[in-house]
Each structure stands twice: as structure tokens, then as C-alpha cells.
Amino acid sequence: MARCTNCNYKWKAKEILSLGFSKNGKNCPNCGERQYISIKTQKLFTLGYLSLIFVPFLLFSIKLSNKDERLFE
């Protein structure tokens, strides 16, 4: 599961899903540091949307970043 890059808080699946739909990142529920989905995970999501079978497995491979990394600008 994804962890905050600042305080190492383990994010819940519901929090990760809401982060996935947020364009501006989301604050960590524990420390308040803004977190974004990493560029590597964004690429995995793009592949996962092609086949919805893989989406549940992607929840365990999500990495967070403290920088706003955009896959498509």
C-alpha cells in the first residue's frame, strides 16, 4: 500500500482512490504534507485503464511523491 513520503503513514485504499481522481494531489491525513501519485504509478494507471481486470492489483503498487509530476501536460 502507498505510504506518505514525509511521515510514512500507510494510506487506506479509499484515500488512494480519491487521490487518483485528484489533479492537484491530496494532503496526507496524518501530517498534512501534500502528496501526489508518482509518474511511475501514473504510467501503470494508464495501462490499467486499458484493462479493468488489473485495476485492483494496481492498488498495491501505488507509489506517492511529494512533487507534482504530470504524465501529460
* pLDDT tens, residue by residue, 14-58: 888 787 777 788 999 999 999 988 887 777 666 655 555 555 666
User: What string of DSSP letters covers 22-46?
Assistant: -SS-EE-TTT--EEEE-HHHHHHHH
Task: Say what the pLDDT of residue 23 is.
Answer: 76
Task: Say what the pLDDT of residue 50 is.
Answer: 53
Q: Which long-range contacts (CB under 8 A, 24 or more apart) does 16-24 make?
A: 16/59, 16/62, 17/59, 19/64, 20/45, 20/62, 24/68
Task: Say what the pLDDT of residue 20 is.
Answer: 72
Q: pTM here?
A: 0.60
Position 72 pLDDT exceeds 70:
no
